[in-house]
A and B are shown apart, each in its own frame.
Chain A
Amino acid sequence: MLILCIWWAGIILEFVLLLRGVQGRLLRRFPFFFSYILFVFLQTILLYCVHHWNRASYPVVYWTCQYIALFVGSLIVFEIYRLALHSYPGTSRMARNALLFIFALTVAKVFVYQTNGALSWLAHAPTELERSVRIVQAFSILALVCVLLIYAIPCSRHVKGILAGYGLMVATSVFDLSLLSHFGDSFKKIWVYAQISSYLFFLMIWLYAMWSPAPEPVHQPEPPLEDYSRIASDTQQELAKLRLGFRKAER
């Protein structure tokens, strides 16, 4: 009964979020985010129907939908990257390099598994596969957030809300799936409740972010740009003076 209530609450919140997207003309600005919400909304209804009328095929439908949702969800990270960094080519380049580094690590890890002949577990352990994808997502979001923080990129409340909600969802998934794969079936019942109820929380974060009429940060006209090597050498000179002073102080 409780799980049905949470399920219905999720459907209602997703519907309200979609309505807000239409009413606030946010669909054009955040196409991937609202595609994701629409997909999860339809997925929830489909899973509800399958759960009621054809319970035997529920796991297959669930995992198929889950993998599609994972792919669509990854596009949200791309959307935030596009929205937040399009005016900042330097930061965009740093973020690209960080994401490439994470991608290279992932490819290397998969390559190691493949050469060990251990790739067959993917077909048998869907939770393991989801956890691996979630970990890659988690590191991608972490890299993006670090770059946004270090370079103090101004973000609207909408973008912050989307990133916070999705990032927390990924972090919770990594946490839950790790416990599930470690403790096995004994944790499964808690996992089901934790997953569904935490999703309600993320929906509320998104609703709160989307409901706030926060204006986009105003991009003031920037001064003419210097060459990066000039900027870096200026900074190095200023730092060198500081270091020289510290060396004197150490003596």
Chain B
Amino acid sequence: MLILVLCIIAAVALVLALVAFSRSRNATDWASVSQGGSTVRQLSRSSFANASAIQEAIFSREDWEFIKREGCPALEELFVSERKAVACYWLTVISSRISAIRHNHLKNSRLAHNLSPGQELRLLGRFLYLSLVCRVGLLVIQLGGPLAPANLTAHIQRIADGLPVARENSFAPLREN
């Protein structure tokens, strides 16, 4: 019975991989892949021209206390949802940068004659770790209430500021940030 189950799992894994392969786009579409596919609600990019100033304005505790003093539940709800959206936006940006670094690496390494499989596996582990951290961050923001995202997004802002810019022209939209 165990062999039957294992064989069926192997067959299903192969079918799923083939479906993904058949639907995959070619390398020229990498840029669009790194930009699309996000299920997180994003605010329009034009409203984030000066990200640091907006972050200070929106995430300050004073703003939250001011909104609470107004005693308007609808306003509080709007404030919380906007704050979450901004935090999610920043995590999505970081996630996009991880994807950009990964795609850039794969694009170069697939042509390298002296590629080291062990090194590749280690890097894959790091990419997976960082992507997981982003996912967990998104979860924390969704579950953490109105004040938790503030500190987190402040840190994320600093991370984002220190990030290297993707080198390839194909990732030009990321440079706008």
Contact = CB atoms under 8 A, between A and B. Distances in A.
A249 interface: yes
**Residue of B12, B27, B130 with highest tally of chain A CB at under 10 A:** B27
A206 to B, nearest CB: 13
Contact of A145 (B18, B120, B124): B18
Contact of A153 (B94, B110, B129): B110
Nearest to B21: A145
B159 A228 contact: no
A183 to B, nearest CB: 9
A121 interface: no
A43 B11 CA distance: 26
Interface string A36-76: 00000000000000000000000000000000000000000
A238 B27 contact: no
B141 to A, nearest CB: 12
Interface residues on chain A, size class: 35 or more
A213 interface: no
Contacts of A13: none
Given A138-B11, A182-B4, A150 B106 contact: yes
Given A228-B109, A248-B155, A154 B18 contact: no
Given A178-B7, A179-B4, A138 B130 contact: no
B159 A242 contact: yes
Interface in A231-251: 231-232, 234-236, 238-239, 241-243, 245-246, 248-249
A234 B129 CA distance: 18
Contact of B26 (A89, A154, A242): A154
Interface stretch (B41-49, B52-60, B111-119): B111-119
Interface in A148-173: 148-155, 160, 163-164, 167-168, 170-172
B158 to A, nearest CB: 7
Contact of B112 (A172, A217, A227): A227
Nearest to A217: B26
A178 B4 contact: yes
Contact of B8 (A150, A175, A226): A175
Contacts of A239: 101, 123, 126-127, 130
Contact of B115 (A90, A153, A179, A236): A90
Nearest to A226: B108
Nearest to A179: B4
Given A90-B111, A164-B22, A182-B4, A171 B15 contact: yes
Say what secondary structure dominates the interface of chain A.
helix
A135 interface: yes
B166 to A, nearest CB: 9
Interface string B1-37: 1011001101111110110111011111010000000
A246 B15 contact: no
Given A89-B112, A241-B162, A171 B18 contact: yes
Contacts of A93: 115, 117
Given A135-B7, A164-B18, A232-B123, 9 more contacts: A145-B17, A148-B24, A154-B28, A177-B7, A178-B7, A178-B11, A225-B112, A235-B104, A245-B158
Interface of B: 1, 3-4, 7-8, 10-15, 17-18, 20-22, 24-28, 30, 94, 97-98, 101, 103-117, 119-120, 123-124, 126-127, 129-130, 133, 137, 152, 155-156, 158-159, 162-164
Interface of A: 88-91, 93-94, 97, 131, 135, 138-139, 141-142, 145-146, 148-155, 160, 163-164, 167-168, 170-172, 174-175, 177-179, 181-182, 217, 222, 225-229, 231-232, 234-236, 238-239, 241-243, 245-246, 248-249
